[in-house]
Amino acid sequence: QSVLTQPPSVSGAPGQRVTISCTGSSSNIGAGYDVHWYQQLPGTAPKLLIYGNSNRPSGVPDRFSGSKSGTSASLAITGLQAEDEADYYCQSYDSSLSGSVVVFGGGTKLTVL
Amino acid sequence: QVQLQESGPGLVKPSETLSLTCAVSGYSISSGYYWGWIRQPPGKGLEWIGSIYHSGSTYYNPSLKSRVTISVDTSKNQFSLKLSSVTAADTAVYYCAGAVAGSKFDYWGQGTLVTVSS
């Protein structure tokens, strides 16, 4: 059971817009910690896609965008392309008795129909 | 260009200690914000194992804390993971990653599959 909750799967047709949610709580996203998103193509290592809630690293298309509100964050992908089919993970921090620990969402598999 | 490369045995026996090293090139490990280990069991999601900060402080996943040690060797520009008393549940692809500015993992190794089996 992940601390951050993501839908197991989402799908969309080429050209469409999809969103992936990442729901946390007052001890992580709601505490003000940044949310980052990673894209994992099949058989490869995760790649940083969005950082600091809504910033794109150099080279990431502006079709990808992120937002955060309250205890949740979202990743939006517009103009869906076949190459976007991958697993997507959100990441943040959580304040626990052990200090600030890194937490990941359970991951969402995006299928391009 | 920053590159990370994991190395270590691909097969570990149950109850033994898993040891992996991550060699960093293109960046001084003592300059980075923090360095971490993340694993992914076959067909499952990402699980953070722990991180070591440039200050030397370490933070571990509470569920693994009693079995994990992460250390850094600045002279070799690498950091290491030791996970003791492994079981089949520790079978996973192990990734090393680096956060050079802020809390995001900017760079990732390609990952190495470690299988726990007798």
Give, for A86, the enclosing helix (H) or strand (E): strand A86-96
Q: Using CA coordinates, name the residue in chain B closest to A108.
A: B45
Model pLDDT, residue B30: 85
CB contact under 8 A, A104 and B51: no
Distance (Å, rounded) from C-alpha A87 to C-alpha B30? 32
Interval A4-61: pLDDT, tens: 999 999 999 999 999 999 999 999 999 999 999 999 999 999 999 999 999 999 999 9
Distance (Å, rounded) from C-alpha A15 to C-alpha A23? 26
Which residues on A lie below 8 Å from B51 (Cβ)?
102
A86-107 residues labelled b (16+ CB within 10 A) or e (exposed): bbbbbbbbbeeeeebbbbbbbb
Model pLDDT, residue B54: 77
Model pLDDT, residue A100: 77
Distance (Å, rounded) from C-alpha A110 to C-alpha B2? 28
Model pLDDT, residue A21: 98
Model pLDDT, residue A64: 98
On whether any CB of chain B is under 8 Å from the CB of A72, the answer is no
Model pLDDT, residue A97: 66
Model pLDDT, residue A71: 97
Which residues on A lie below 8 Å from B60 (Cβ)?
98, 101
CB contact under 8 A, A98 and B108: no
Three-state DSSP class for A37?
strand
Interval A85-107: pLDDT, tens: 999 999 999 987 667 799 999 99
Which residues on B lie below 8 Å from A33 (Cβ)?
103
Q: What is the mean pLDDT of each run of 10 residues along chain B (118 residues)?
A: 95 98 93 91 96 88 95 93 98 95 91 97
Q: Using CA coordinates, name the residue in chain B closest to A6.
A: B45
Which residues on B lie below 8 Å from A104 (Cβ)?
38, 45-48
Residue B29 CB neighbours (<10 A): 23
